Every structure is written in structure tokens, then in C-alpha cells.
Amino acid sequence: MTHTFQVEVENIKCGGCENSIVKGINSVAKVTDLVIDREKQLVSFSGEESIKQLVIDKLKSMGYPEKGSVAGLAAGITNAKSFVSCAIGRMT
């Protein structure tokens, strides 16, 4: 059964970030209707229930953690990762 999910994330700054997120999510999970709302810091997608955590884990590994899920040093590290992901997204 297909479900629609919304994940509020941190660190989406530009189109490069959006490009990286699309590429990253599509590499780990079969999702449909992927929408990234930079202003609201929201990633929406449809798919099987089993992929939700895969997508959340992939977003975090790329520097776009679920809002409120990291703090302190971990938040600094994910912010740095998002800059790298952003730069890669701008080049593709």
C-alpha cells in the first residue's frame, strides 16, 4: 500500500541542495511524487511504509536531518555535510 509522507528537515538552502536530495533519495528508495519545499524545509514523497525510515536516514547522512533530531556537535557536522551535498548538487 502506498502512503504519502512529509519530513520536516534542516539545512535546505538552494537548488543545489534540492538536486542532491532528489538524487540521494532516488538512490536508496523507490519513491513517487517527490517534492522539496525549500521555504518550508519540507520533503514530501509517496511510497511503501517501509521506505520512510530509509529516506530519513539518507537525508540525515547527506546533511539534511529531520528537524530537531540532532543538536550540538552532531548539528554542526550535519550542517557541514549539507554544504558538501549542496556543492555537489550545483555541479550536476
The pTM (predicted TM-score) of the whole model is 0.89
Judged against a pLDDT cut of 90, whether residue 54 lies above it is answered with yes
Return the axis-axis angle of helices 52-61 and 15-28, rounded to nearest 10°.
130
The domain that holds 37 is classified in CATH as: 3.30.70.100
84 vs 4, higher pLDDT: 4
Measured CA to CA, the distance from residue 18 to residue 81 in angstroms comes to: 14
Q: Quick one: average pLDDT of 9-27?
A: 93
Q: Which domain holds residue 81?
A: 2-91
Q: Quick one: average pLDDT of 29-45?
A: 93
9 vs 78, higher pLDDT: 9
Q: In the chain, how many domains are there? A: 1
pLDDT band at 20 (very low <50, low <70, confident <90, very high): very high
pLDDT score at 71: 84
What length is written for the chain?
Answer: 92
